[in-house]
Structure 1
Amino acid sequence: MSDKISCIITDDEPYARKGLEGYIEKISFLDLKGSCEDVLQLNSLLEQEPVDLLFLDIQMPLFTGIEFLKTLRNPPKVIFTTAYAQYAIQGFELEVMDYLLKPISYERFLKAATKAKEYFSLKARPGASAAYLFLKVNGKFEKIVFADILFIEGMENYIAIQLKDKRMISYSTIKSLLEKLPATQFIQTHKSYVVGIDKIDRIDGNLLHIWKHQVPISKSLRKVVMETILNQR
């Protein structure tokens, strides 16, 4: 990626497109490559010129933004721009970068754009990795610092992140979150648990003692878990 984030707006409302275009003009690190009124135009434009980021409406003629996004093999990062809050869960299932509800203020748009800038800047650094991630918790994005995580518990389509002073629930899965965690700091001990390796105080049979908590080790993972913990630097 260059110093600027290349982006495309897609919205069937001319007024909405004009508003986003005005916001993008004010942000030096965004480079607008096109403004489309539906996903057919967007698809044609993407075939000609792939971009880093899409500002994508959801409710549009022919295809919704969600339906279109599901058809892409390697989609750009996406920030949804919509008047409908009820699609938020689907958006986060698709791991969109942000979800902006109309009417969108410049302050809120700038916050989302800055998040995108931080993501791409970090991605461009060779060998660099974040020390935190943002997760949706109780309707807000919360910054979760990796070093603060004791363990993570999976509960079907939700996860509980256990910190020393609180427990945070987010709509996600163990598998999805594990892909974002540094492998040198975390290990899966059970189909429903991932633990911070340096947070383990004691191993007692098939239980890990972590501060005031106990986390199970499954039989199928016990060998690799023990080797990882005991050989940790």
Structure 2
Amino acid sequence: MTNISCIITDDEPFARKGLQGYVEKIGFLDLKGVCEDALQLSDMLQRQPVDLLFLDIQMPHITGVDFIRALSKPPKVIFTTAFEHYALQGFELDVMDYLLKPISYERFLKATWKARDYFALKENVPATAATPYIFIKANGKLEKVNFDEILFIEGMENYVAIHLAGKKLITHSTIKSLVEKLPAGQFLQTHKSFIVSISKVETIEGNTLHIQKYQVPISKYLREVVLGQIVK
């Protein structure tokens, strides 16, 4: 599936910076702009339509709720707010999710996975991807890697190691760039340096996933989200 284009809108500088940092960590999100209020957002949407809005509710001039109601064909929305009583209004507008400040990274990540799954279905792209493989450059040649043969992927600065059942391939890449090429729903980032194939996880022990003879860590910040995706 293609990347999800998005815009952040929040009147608080600290909140904008925090959300931008979260978005930049997620490979399938493509940030097109950052706005301070709904007026700036309106101008930006006229120049640059996007798939998804991270939208604060309580802002000057017009609330996020009223702004969405005023649009004839609004993008999908993930509301971000410090006020819990707006939740009902948000869900009445069929928003993608509702994040209550302060927003943790794991909660933000869970909301973006929901958006990823929605847009994958909208494109009629199955979660396992139409092309079930990629080619990577390793050992001085291009090697075909079938998605269903990948156990997990390990990041090592500017290189990644792709662990397969019978071998390990090392290629010049990053976790962020590689995750963009993987099919939604089949792989899960468990740590800043690790991506696992969900179906290959055999047991979970504390903050460790066991895949055949390997042990893959779960970040303490992602534990709840990771377990929620694996143990459905």
CA RMSD of aligned residues (A): 1.5
Partner of 1:206: none
Please tell me the residue identity of whatever aligns with 2:61: L
Alignment of 1:109 with 2:108, yes or no, is: yes
Deviations 1:74-97 (A, max 9, x none): 000000000000001100110001
Number of corresponding residues: 127
Partner of 1:198: none
Provide the rounded CA distance (Å) in 2 between the counterparts of 1:111 and 1:30.
13
The Cα of 1:7 is off from its aligned counterpart by 0.2
Provide the rounded CA distance (Å) in 2 between the counterparts of 1:92 and 1:81.
13
Alignment of 1:22 with 2:21, yes or no, is: yes
Assess if the C-alpha contact under 8 Å between 2:120 and 2:126 holds in 1. no
Deviations 1:130-171 (A, max 9, x none): xxxxxxxxxxxxxxxxxxxxxxxxxxxxxxxxxxxxxxxxxx
Partner of 1:100: 99
Provide the rounded CA distance (Å) in 1 between the counterparts of 2:110 and 2:43.
29
Query: Between the two proteins, what is the percent identity of the paired residues?
Result: 70
Note the 1:144-223 alignment, pairs <5 A: none
Please tell me the residue identity of whatever aligns with 1:29: F
Please tell me the residue identity of whatever aligns with 2:9: T
Alignment of 1:90 with 2:89, yes or no, is: yes
Partner of 2:33: 34
Partner of 1:50: 49
Provide the rounded CA distance (Å) in 2 between the counterparts of 1:15 and 1:45.
21
Provide the rounded CA distance (Å) in 1 between the counterparts of 2:125 and 2:117.
15
Partner of 1:209: none
The Cα of 1:3 is off from its aligned counterpart by 1.2
Provide the rounded CA distance (Å) in 1 between the counterparts of 2:70 and 2:88.
18
Gaps of 5+ in 1: 129-233
Provide the rounded CA distance (Å) in 1 between the counterparts of 2:118 and 2:125.
13
Provide the rounded CA distance (Å) in 2 between the counterparts of 1:107 and 1:5.
19
**RCO greater where, 1 or 2, for CA within 8 Å and sep 6 or more?**
2
The Cα of 1:30 is off from its aligned counterpart by 0.2
Q: Which SS does the other structure have where 2:98 is aligned?
A: strand
The Cα of 1:11 is off from its aligned counterpart by 0.2
> Which is higher, the Rg of structure 1 or of structure 2?
1
Alignment of 1:70 with 2:69, yes or no, is: yes
Deviations 1:44-68 (A, max 9, x none): 0000010000000000000000010
Q: Which SS does the other structure have where 2:16 is aligned?
A: helix
Greater than 2 Å deviation, 4+ residue runs: none
The Cα of 1:126 is off from its aligned counterpart by 6.9
Assess if the C-alpha contact under 8 Å between 2:83 and 2:100 holds in 1. yes
Gaps of 5+ in 2: 128-232
Q: Which SS does the other structure have where 2:15 is aligned?
A: helix
Partner of 2:58: 59
- Structure 1-normalised TM-score? 0.53
Please tell me the residue identity of whatever aligns with 2:85: Q
